[in-house]
Amino acid sequence: MRSAVHAPTRLLMLLVTALYLLLPGALQAKGLPYQLEYRLEFLPQSGQALVTITLDKGELLRSIRFDNLPERYEDITASGKLMVSATEVLWEPEAGSASLSLKVKINHERDPGEYDALMTRNWAIFRGDDLFPAVKTRFEDGAYAVATLDVVLPPHWTSVETGWPRKKGNTFRINNPERKFDRPTGWMIAGTLGTRRGDISDTAITVSAPKDSAVRRMDVLTFFTFVWPELQRAFVQTPDKLLVVGMGDPMWRGGLSGPNSLFLHADRPVVSENGTSPLMHEL
């Protein structure tokens, strides 16, 4: 006569079997985060930036694909398998540490004689969207990035500002919750700068411009102290950090917004005669 297996014992056996079957996947999941490091080095003499993308676990990404822009990109190299055509770049990273680098032209005229991206001997103003390619990726299931941006400045440049939180020195944490392959976007400024900072409610606000700029940095910060409570009531959630970049000619004579950041020409008023605010418009 067979002995009956009690219900609690049977349940325990089922749980042990399930855990045993799930164990390999659980162990594998621990390795799915990967380090994604962006490195940005300015080359003022050539008007370019050297962009390097490094992965610590190349095996988690099957392929990275982005549009080739020959008028802006050159000297594209990579470890692993790289295919470059006139219209597209396809990179299949090697296992372990893998990297891709390219030189990117910074200067861009939005209108004749007016720039929405410019690098001079002493400073650079640009959007990360224009330097770091927008990529299409194929991942191993569950892979996600822990991303940083490290900026290398020319010897006489003193600082860099972005709309991303500073980790230390010239390294910033990049976290796009909606992306598995984080990308440093938004306005950025580097060089010999004049910068003012203030904390308003839960937002760290930075106003930065080249030292020789006529940007009224303290006027901008003071204006924010008055309007920020209204912004919070209207939008409920406000960013952890906001960067305002300014400069006069030959930059574009207007305002342009970006993720966690905006640009405003030095000649644009904080509040116009008709009571409107270019600054508020971009926010």
Q: Which residues contact 4 (CB under 8 A, 6 or more apart)?
A: none
Confidence of residue 9 (pLDDT cuts 50, 70, 90): low
Give the architecture (CATH level 2) of 33-282.
Sandwich (2.60)
Q: Can you tell me the mean pLDDT for 20-49?
A: 75
Give Cβ neighbours of residue 117 (< 8 Å, ≥ 6 apart). 106, 107, 108, 125, 126, 127, 130
pLDDT, tens digit, 9 for 90 and up, residues 132-147: 999 999 999 989 999 9
pTM of the full structure: 0.86
Cα distances (angstroms) measured from residue 190 to each of 150, 171, 173: 12, 13, 17
Percent of the chain at pLDDT > 90 equals 73
Task: Confirm if 255 and 280 have CB atoms less than 8 A apart.
Answer: no
Q: Is pLDDT of 253 > 70?
A: yes
| SS3 label, residue 16 | helix
Distances 226 to 229, 244, 280, 282 between C-alpha atoms, Å: 7, 16, 12, 16
The model's pLDDT over 130-185, given as tens digits with 9 standing for 90+, comes to 999 999 999 999 899 999 999 999 999 999 999 999 999 999 999 987 777 999 99
Taking CA atoms, 185 is separated from 111, 129, 229, in Å, by: 22, 5, 26
Mean pLDDT of 90-103: 98
Q: Could you give the C-alpha distances from 72 to 14, 28, 131, 252, in angstroms and in order?
A: 60, 40, 9, 20
Contact 48, 104 (CB under 8 A): yes
